[in-house]
Amino acid sequence: MADTVELVAGWIVAGLVTLGGVLLAQRQSDKGRQRQEDRVIIYEPIHRELEEVLSRGRRLLDNGYSVWSPSDEFLDLVHRAALVPKRHDALRNDIAELLRLLERHTRTWTELYNQRKKAINEKWEETDLEDEKGDRRKLADLLGRNFDDARFNNATTSLDKEGWTRELNVRVTGQGGNLGLKFKLLTLAEDLFDQVTAALAPDRKTFMDDGEALLQHVERIKTGLEKALASGRVYRAPTTISVENDQRSSAAPLPRYPPFLVYGGGIAVVIVGLILIATLNGPFVIIGFAVVAIGVVGAIAALWIMVGRIADPRLRKASRGLLFLFFSSYFLAAGFPPGADLGRGFFTDLAAGSVAGLIVLLAGEYVRRGGLNR
């Protein structure tokens, strides 16, 4: 009767552990499919968009342009409610803040553009030219009213005094030559530049500050997306400190050691220990057992490291839990005295069930990833 109870209890325990592994594998498969969809449909397109912004945003900002005009793909992703599920709360909030910063940046860019055009045209109206005959006229008469030129605009915003004054002198000389006259500016071009930039200083500062805030937020979201893509987790908004740490540590990745080498070494050490036990006598047998123990610890550590290399955090924790359950159950079963068959059988079945659950869990994940790769 006791044997029957032991057998049935062992089957129940092993079955329950195996069933737990199967259910966990199914749950992980569903979550893995969801994460893969998030990766392809949401994370990667947004990451590409933000990488493009950062690749040329600084140059555009320095030259007085808006740093970003969202692509149709990005706007479609945001407007079709792809970020509505609760798991995307952090990303949805960060994208909303990004669009708010973009709106403010666009507004200050428009204000700077209008003020810059107004300041330059007013200066043209105020500045006198004199030809070789002594006749005078306004600079606006020569260069035209409603003046708007990209080279002047870029040089004004980027504070390129040399380029701005050179371009102005070339324009005065060239336009005068077209009229068969030689004109001289009665106000130095350098002074005109200083007056224009001084008038625009408040608008320029607001524009640059808003652009900087936008680029920093783009960098923040990009860092969070890279973490999500690398770990397989849902996007989490990174802190400023974590962004700075990621930028510093990206140039010096930590070394990775092959756990298979450690595992193979552990098995080899166990074999050496068994040979010592079989061939030596007396106190030297203790050395053999010590060598076997060292090899077993090394092999177990290697398995623990290999399981720890699993990218998915939930799968990693579940696999380590089942691995720990196997080892603890196995050693408990081995530790029972010869007459305690019920306890030894119980923990033996528990160890077997945990191994079966671990195999099902890892096999399901392997098949799922193989399907996705195809």
Write out the chain in H/E/C secondary structure.
Answer: CHHHHHHHHHHHHHHHHHHHHHHHHHHHHHHHHHHHHHHHHHHHHHHHHHHHHHHHHHHHHHCCCCCCCCCHHHHHHHHCCCCCCHHHHHHHHHHHHHHHHHHHHHHHHHHHHHHHHHHHHHHHHHCEEEECCCCEEEHHHHHCCCCCCHHHHHHHHCCCHHHHHHHHHHHHHHHHHHCCCCEEECCCHHHHHHHHHHHHHHHHHHHHHHHHHHHHHHHHHHHHHHHHHHHCCCCCCCCHHHHHHHHHHCCCCCCCCCHHHHHHHHHHHHHHHHHHHHHCCCCHHHHHHHHHHHHHHHHHHHHHHHHHCCCCHHHHHHHHHHHHHHHHHHHHHHHCCCCCHHHHHHHHHHHHHHHHHHHHHHHHHHHHHHHHHC
Nearest 5°: CA angle at 142, between 141 and 147?
80
Tell me the C-alpha distance between 350 and 333, whole Å.
9
Domain contains 151: no
Q: Which two tokens stand for residue 150?
A: 């990209």
Please give the tally of structural domains in the chain: 1
The per-residue pLDDT for range 186-222, each reduced to its tens digit, is 999 999 999 999 999 999 999 999 999 999 999 999 9
Domain extent at residue 310? 259-373
Q: Using CA of residue 284, residue 286, residue 288, residue 291, what is the dihedral sign? A: negative
Domain contains 134: no
Domain contains 326: yes
Domain contains 141: no
Domain contains 216: no
Tell me the C-alpha distance between 198 and 211, whole Å.
20
Domain contains 106: no
Tell me the C-alpha distance between 212 and 268, whole Å.
58
Residues 274 and 288 sit within 8 Å (Cβ to Cβ): yes
pLDDT truncated to tens, each residue of the chain (374 aa)?
445 544 555 555 555 555 555 555 555 555 667 778 888 999 999 999 999 999 999 999 988 899 999 999 999 988 887 888 898 999 999 999 999 999 999 999 999 999 999 999 999 999 999 998 889 999 999 999 899 998 999 999 999 999 999 999 999 999 988 888 999 999 999 999 999 999 999 999 999 999 999 999 999 999 999 999 988 788 988 875 444 555 444 444 444 556 566 667 777 877 887 787 777 777 767 787 787 788 777 777 777 777 776 666 667 777 778 778 877 877 777 777 666 666 667 777 777 777 777 777 667 666 665 544 44
Q: What are residue 130's DSSP bridge partners? A: 136, 184
Domain contains 327: yes
Tell me the C-alpha distance between 368 and 28, whole Å.
10
The residue written with tokens 């030219």 in the block is 129
Domain contains 184: no
Give the number of other Cβ atoms within 10 Å of residue 314's Cβ. 15
